[in-house]
A and B are shown apart, each in its own frame.
Chain A
Amino acid sequence: AQKVTQAQTEISVVEKEDVTLDCVYETRDTTYYLFWYKQPPSGELVFLIRRNSFDEQNEISGRYSWNFQKSTSSFNFTITASQVVDSAVYFCALRGDFQGAQKLVFGQGTRLTINP
């Protein structure tokens, strides 16, 4: 079965600190995609990034960076120089073709609070 674990339920840091959100996954698929979503207080989930199982290159987008390591089944997300607007719940998700079901499986989410 597919599973995504975000062990950090809540994280609170002071503005300008760097923060890393952990994501560990389990899957039997050889082809799969990993995603990160942001859920601000408005409730809508906003897509941030996707990474396929064959591409282990790290990615940087402004203050955001993602580290995908297949050897440890992890897809961690780092925010550099955090800002108050980064406060949200962040979800890691996995989508594979296990038994033909192309469902997006979510982790429990990490609530990130950036204090001024």
Chain B
Amino acid sequence: DGGITQSPKYLFRKEGQNVTLSCEQNLNHDAMYWYRQDPGQGLRLIYYSQIVNDFQKGDIAEGYSVSREKKESFPLTVTSAQKNPTAFYLCASTSGQALNSPLHFGNGTRLTVT
């Protein structure tokens, strides 16, 4: 079955370390997204990519970086510059640029930085 795979489900890191979250999709979707979820704040967009080798900053891109070298992969790196990295991170994809295309989400990665 097609879907979005995020790994790992739980991730623990020490403060000051960079960490990379994996997101792979086999839906042949062009666009991919990274959202951050904090309690009471809903989902906030970090980065998105509408095509391979291209990506744009979302609303809270500071302290994060991404790459889109392959259509199926969109890894997110949380750098040591991110002040409050502990959160639930969700990756999503959609088939095209049509406004009515719903996003498909992965199961998320819960990152804890101590």
The residues of A with any CB-CB pair to B shorter than 8 Å are 6, 9, 31-33, 35, 37, 42-47, 50, 52, 91, 95-97, 101-109
Chain B interfacial residues counted at CB < 8 A: 26
Interface residues of chain B, those whose CB is within 8 Å of chain A, are 33, 35, 40-45, 48, 50, 56, 58, 88, 90, 92, 97, 99-100, 102-108, 110
**Contact for A50 among B43, B88, B100, CB less than 8 A:** B100
Chain A residues, Cβ within 8 Å of B92 = 45, 104
Distance (Å) between the CB of A28 and the closest chain B CB? 14
8 nearest A-B pairs in the assembled complex, by CB-CB distance: A45-B105, A108-B42, A43-B108, A106-B43, A47-B102, A106-B42, A44-B107, A33-B99
Q: Which residues of A contact B35 (CB under 8 A)?
A: 106
Which residues of chain A have C-beta atoms less than 8 A from B107's C-beta? Answer: 42-44
Query: Are A47 and B40 interface neighbours, CB within 8 A?
Result: no
A96 to chain B, nearest CB (A): 7
Q: Which residues from chain A contact B97 at a C-beta distance below 8 Å?
A: 102
